[in-house]
Amino acid sequence: MHSINIRMNRESEQRVKALRELSFERWVSRIKISTHSETHLIGLGSGGANAVKYIWSQWVKGRFTVVNDPVDTDIPDGIKLIPFHSPKIRKFSGKKGDFYFPDMEQPLELPDELTDLFRENYRFLLLAGLGGYTGTKMAEALALMLHKEQKDFLTICSMPFSFEGRNRLAIAREAEERMKTIPNCHFFELDLLRNEQKDLLLSEAFPAGDRYFYRIIITLCLY
Ligand SMILES: Nc1nc2c(ncn2[C@@H]2O[C@H](COP(=O)(O)OP(=O)(O)OP(=O)(O)O)[C@@H](O)[C@H]2O)c(=O)[nH]1
Ligand SMILES: [Mg+2]
């Protein structure tokens, strides 16, 4: 009797696991990624950079590049850093100094070092958190460019947590609407992670986002 109970529990665990897998980003299982070229993971902005850093730390095979402001994230030696400073406007001055916001009106200038990367024959996986300047603008511009050039690529973007405010969400949603028309662009909601884990601490929220990017990448490689 006891052993049957254990087996039942295992079976229900399996069932719960299978159900979780089913509810996990359906688009992932529809993607077939070719195995004949090497993967080049490129993280855009701080969100993309931290996701790529985490994926790299898990011993995933491939090439790794990050495009970001060097003061925002420490990049280990195994990852190539392309420095990029996004245009900012001063919104207000406070006791702790001036507060700068990304100036979304400014046109994006892609660093030559970045466009040069795409001359090579890799399968490019672009990762970005939408909502700021670097990740949002670059994800859209590069996806469009790679699509036109018929490159083997995939863009994966996160949508901001609701606690980040309406402004970020609006920037992200507008970009999402435009990018939905470009093939190979996929999105996930960071808020889903808070539904999955109700007691998710604020300090753990973004690292959980990094792990979710990793989970998507690993799952993609299994199909
Ligand atoms: N997974 C993950 N997501 C993050 C992290 N930091 C920020 N994000 C998400 O990415 C979105 C964009 O923020 P950033 O990546 O900081 O912005 P950016 O692309 O660097 O843009 P600018 O700094 O404005 O040029 C945020 O709204 C967050 O939702 C992180 O460490 N990990
Ligand atoms: Mg940034």
Structure confidence by residue, pLDDT tens digits, 133-150: 999 999 999 999 999 999
Report whether pLDDT(20) > 80.
Answer: no
Residue 167 CA to ligand 1 center (angstroms) comes to 13
Rounded CA separation 31/82 (Å): 29
Q: What is the pLDDT of residue 222?
A: 60
3-state secondary structure of 100: strand
Q: Using 50, 70 and 90 to split pLDDT, how confident is the model at 7? A: low
Residue 166 CA to ligand 1 center (angstroms) comes to 15
Write the residue with the smallest CA distance to atom 3 of ligand 1: 47
Residues with C-beta atoms within 5 A of ion ligand 2: 45-46, 72
How remote is the C-alpha of 160 from its chain's centroid?
A: 11
- Helices 45-57 + 202-222 axis angle, to 10: 60
Q: Using 50, 70 and 90 to split pLDDT, how confident is the model at 1? A: very low
- Work out which ligand 1 atom sits closest to the CA atom of 209: 1
Write the residue with the smallest CA distance to atom 16 of ligand 1: 46
Integer CA distances (angstroms), 221 to 29, 34, 67, 164, in order: 10, 9, 23, 31
- Which ligand is nearest to the Cα of residue 132, counting in written order? 1
pLDDT (average), residues 173-179: 98
Residue 202 CA to ligand 2 center (angstroms) comes to 19
Pairing of strands 39-44, 123-129: parallel
Domain boundary assignment for the chain: 1-26, 31-222
Q: Which residue has the higher pLDDT, 39 or 37?
A: 39
- Beta-bridged to residue 97, according to DSSP, are 94
Q: Flag the least confident range among 12-21, 75-84, 148-157, 162-171.
A: 12-21
pTM for this entry: 0.89
Rounded CA separation 152/63 (Å): 15
Q: Which residue has the higher pLDDT, 19 or 108?
A: 108
Report whether pLDDT(184) > 60.
Answer: yes
Q: If you average pLDDT over every residue of the chain, what do you get?
A: 88
Nearest to 129 by CA among 219, 208, 28, 13: 208
Token pair of 7 as six digits: 């087996």
Task: Give the percent of the chain with pLDDT over 90.
Answer: 67
pLDDT digits (tens, 9 = 90+) for 188-202: 999 999 888 888 888
In CATH terms, 31-222 corresponds, of 3.40.50.300, 3.40.50.1440, 3.40.30.10, 3.40.80.10, to: 3.40.50.1440
What is the CB neighbour count within 10 angstroms for residue 107?
7
Task: Give the percent of the chain with pLDDT over 70.
Answer: 88
pLDDT digits (tens, 9 = 90+) for 103-112: 999 999 999 9
- Work out which ligand 1 atom sits closest to the CA atom of 208: 1
Length of the chain: 223
Write the residue with the smallest CA distance to atom 10 of ligand 1: 129
Residues with CB under 6 A from ligand 1: 45-47, 50-51, 68, 86, 102, 129, 131-135, 158, 160-161, 164, 168, 190, 206, 209-210
- Work out which ligand 1 atom sits closest to the CA atom of 86: 25
